């Protein structure tokens, strides 16, 4: 649940954008004027005479890598997998240069003159992705099941017995579920408290104790005040945007008559985008109780009073 991009997010995007620009410009020059590129890059002459066809082949690889990196930049948290693939060939190409100097195929002088242009772009791109990954601001969609489901089980406090069935489902069910989770955790215009309490209200209306516990503990983990969460669990959320979001989530899940009035009040005060995000949070929170019941885990669902 990332929210609006901040300064570090923009720095990460800038690093990937710089890598994309270098790769695209280099690839384009190799493709359009291979012999001019050969003359311009003095160190390449140490590898042998110019071969126009070979230079264009490498230029196409640079263009493909640059295109993947450029595609990733506008939505880097979601498209970091494309950035990783785009940086992958560039990194392997750079490691070939490392191998050449270690094997004395080329001199250290030639290597260090090449290094900024050869190793710089992939390292910049990977640094951009690493910044987001270190801050847990990347989508889970590109991850393989083996890297997604164990942490997801821990993050749901071992209260999601339905996850193994989703992981083992045929037809790439696990991968499709990962994309759903990115959707379910969306936040941009709304505050952390609004989204977390809308999710909590919907979980409480679903009468599923473990799901309520996950939502409540998750809200505290995301920075919502513990007293605020416990007040909502006790049915006394107080006043303000968070309390309004809690009531909205509960009304949505229970489909009570006040839902429309609450939604319109939220939209008047905070805008259509916030109403949309609270709707997504509350609607998505209803999926897990339904999955548990449908897969035979309904016995674990009855709601019990709790605090966090």
**What does the alpha-carbon distance between residue 202 and residue 137 come to, in Å, rounded to a whole number?**
25
- 144 lies in some domain: no
For residue 302, the model assigns a pLDDT of: 59
Residue 199 has pLDDT above 90, yes or no: yes
**What does the alpha-carbon distance between residue 280 and residue 182 come to, in Å, rounded to a whole number?**
11
Of 91, 108, 134, the position where a domain reaches its end is: 134
- 307 lies in some domain: no
Number of domains making up the chain: 2
Whether residues 286 and 190 share a domain: the answer is yes
Whether residues 130 and 16 share a domain: the answer is yes
Residue 301 has pLDDT above 70, yes or no: no
- 178 lies in some domain: no
For residue 291, the model assigns a pLDDT of: 94
Whether residues 191 and 94 share a domain: the answer is no
For residue 110, the model assigns a pLDDT of: 73
Lowest pLDDT segment from 15-24, 278-287, 299-308: 299-308
Of 134, 153, 172, the position where a domain reaches its end is: 134
Residue 136 has pLDDT above 80, yes or no: yes
Whether residues 223 and 123 share a domain: the answer is no
> pLDDT tens digits, residue range 39-60?
888 677 767 788 889 999 999 9
**For the ranges 34-38, 98-102, 119-123, 233-237, the one whose mean pLDDT is highest:** 119-123
- 160 lies in some domain: no
Whether residues 211 and 275 share a domain: the answer is yes
**What does the alpha-carbon distance between residue 128 and residue 116 come to, in Å, rounded to a whole number?**
17
Whether residues 129 and 189 share a domain: the answer is no
When comparing pLDDT for 206 and 273, which is higher? 273
Whether residues 113 and 192 share a domain: the answer is no
**What does the alpha-carbon distance between residue 114 and residue 214 come to, in Å, rounded to a whole number?**
52
Is residue 226 within 8 A of residue 32, CB to CB? The reply is no
Whether residues 30 and 112 share a domain: the answer is yes
For residue 65, the model assigns a pLDDT of: 97
Whether residues 123 and 27 share a domain: the answer is yes
- 79 lies in some domain: yes
- 172 lies in some domain: no
Whether residues 56 and 118 share a domain: the answer is yes
> pLDDT tens digits, residue range 103-119?
877 777 777 877 888 89
- 211 lies in some domain: yes
Residue 209 is part of which domain span? Answer: 185-300
- 122 lies in some domain: yes
**Average pLDDT score, the chain:** 91
For residue 296, the model assigns a pLDDT of: 93
Whether residues 15 and 130 share a domain: the answer is yes
Residue 171 has pLDDT above 80, yes or no: yes
Of 92, 107, 134, the position where a domain reaches its end is: 134
Lowest pLDDT segment from 234-243, 261-270, 280-289: 234-243
**What does the alpha-carbon distance between residue 274 and residue 122 come to, in Å, rounded to a whole number?**
37
For residue 198, the model assigns a pLDDT of: 98
């Amino acid at each position: 649940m990332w929210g609006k991009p901040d300064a570090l997010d923009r720095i990460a995007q800038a690093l990937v954008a710089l890598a994309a620009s270098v790769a695209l410009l280099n690839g384009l020059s190799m493709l359009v004027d291979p012999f001019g590129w050969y003359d311009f890059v003095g160190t390449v002459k140490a590898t042998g005479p110019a071969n126009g066809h070979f230079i264009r082949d490498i230029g196409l690889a640079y263009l493909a890598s640059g295109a993947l990196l450029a595609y990733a930049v506008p939505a880097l948290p979601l498209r970091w997998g494309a950035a990783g693939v785009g940086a992958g060939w560039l990194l392997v190409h750079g490691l070939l240069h490392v191998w050449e100097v270690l094997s004395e195929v080329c001199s250290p002088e030639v290597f260090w003159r090449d290094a900024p242009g050869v190793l710089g772009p992939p390292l910049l791109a990977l640094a951009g992705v690493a910044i987001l990954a270190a801050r847990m601001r990347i989508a889970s969609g590109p991850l393989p099941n083996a890297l997604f489901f164990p942490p997801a089980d821990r993050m749901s406090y071992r209260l999601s017995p339905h996850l193994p069935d989703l992981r083992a489902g045929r037809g790439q069910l696990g991968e499709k579920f990962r994309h759903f989770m990115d959707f379910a955790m969306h936040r941009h215009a709304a505050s952390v408290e609004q989204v977390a309490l809308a999710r909590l209200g919907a979980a409480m209306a679903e009468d599923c104790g473990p799901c309520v516990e996950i939502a409540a503990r998750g809200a505290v983990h995301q920075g919502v005040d513990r007293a605020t969460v416990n007040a909502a669990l006790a049915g006394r959320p107080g006043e303000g945007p968070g309390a309004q979001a809690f009531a909205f989530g509960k009304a949505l899940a229970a489909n009570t008559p006040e839902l429309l009035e609450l939604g319109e009040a939220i939209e008047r005060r905070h805008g259509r985008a916030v109403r949309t995000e609270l709707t997504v949070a509350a609607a998505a929170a209803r999926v897990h109780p339904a999955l548990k019941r449908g897969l035979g885990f309904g016995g674990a669902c009855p709601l019990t009073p709790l605090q966090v």
